[in-house]
Amino acid sequence: KLFIKDLWFEQVPVRIYQPKVPSASQRRGVMFFHGGGWVFGSLETHEKLCRSIARESESVVVSVGYRLAPEHKYPAAYEDCLNATIHFMKNIEHYGVDPARIIICGDSAGGNLAAAVSQTLAGRSDLPKLRAQILIYPGLQALDFNLPSYQQNRGVPLLFRERAAFYVLQYLNGDASHMQEVLEGSHIPIDITLNYRKWVSPDNIPEKFKVRGYKPHVLLDCTTEVYETVKRICEPNLCPLLAEDAIVQQLPESFILTCEYDVLRDDGLLYKKRLEDNGVQVTWYHLEDGFHGIINSFNSDWLSFSSGKRGLDNIVNFLKSL
């Protein structure tokens, strides 16, 4: 049902999925960035998911094989995703895609990259305006690893709390030696942490998400030496939750999927609030019985979860509404 081909956009490998069935009008174009903590994942690991999205929503899907950490540190992955997206936007006529219906999508670390690329393109007047962004259990901040979801789900597969911090540091500078400081929150000076409290705070998480054993965390100060090595964590291209309101206000309609049993749940909830506070329309889908990575197992040969399929169906339905 699909034409699938591998190409290069600039210097970035991509795989394009195009429905074979003829279409009377131009199709939606979906840029897809895969998850894997910026360290793993490939065009292959998300092949089934991209095929499903292309087939079920009858959209053209472009999966991006961005460079991985720690060999390629931040901002390599972000730059690859951005450059591939701009290339696609500038050559849209070759793919039968409607320039008014370009959507950016990603899961986990790919959701982080999707949010960052959407923010960068929000202010560009020389390119088509994005129609929407789809963020599937995205990781959006590295300031606070003690949010309720990090405490409640610290030992829940597939993404443990320690792993989440490890991946961010691998992406940031290929060195996880300050992981302990990051986990306890002593990697950012208190004044900077307080400055971002308006956006990154347990106070912004609805009460019903705190009932499963959440304890408020004491703020710790940090040494100059530690902060020097990790200070780029405060850049919105790495932590999109920290973007200024002026950027967030320009973002397109958004779909956010979160899972209850996922350390990254609260990143999604905090971003949902930020988007809504800034007048952006948000469709939020929460998998009460979901865990991190579940969408990729919707039709796995060895282990399949019905809620993964439910999540995917909601993503497809959102796409069809655009």
Strands 27-33 and 97-107, by their bridges, are: parallel
Task: Say if residues 100 and 29 touch (Cβ distance below 8 Å).
Answer: no
- Nearest Cα residue to 176 out of 166, 187, 164: 166
292 is catalytic: yes
Q: CA–CA distance from 161 to each of 106, 133, 145, 182 (Å)?
A: 20, 26, 7, 11
Sheet containing strand 60-64, edge to edge, reads 2-9, 12-19, 60-64, 27-33, 97-107, 132-136, 253-261, 282-291
Given the residues 80, 262, 266, 267, the one annotated as active site: 262
Q: Identify the three-state secondary structure at position 141.
A: coil
Burial of 60 (0-12, 13-18, 19+ CB in 10 A): buried
Residue 164: how many CA atoms within 13 Å on its side-chain side?
Answer: 34
- Nearest Cα residue to 291 out of 265, 317, 315, 313: 265
Given the residues 118, 292, 297, 307, the one annotated as active site: 292
Given the residues 57, 108, 149, 186, the one annotated as active site: 108
Catalytic residues: 108, 262, 292
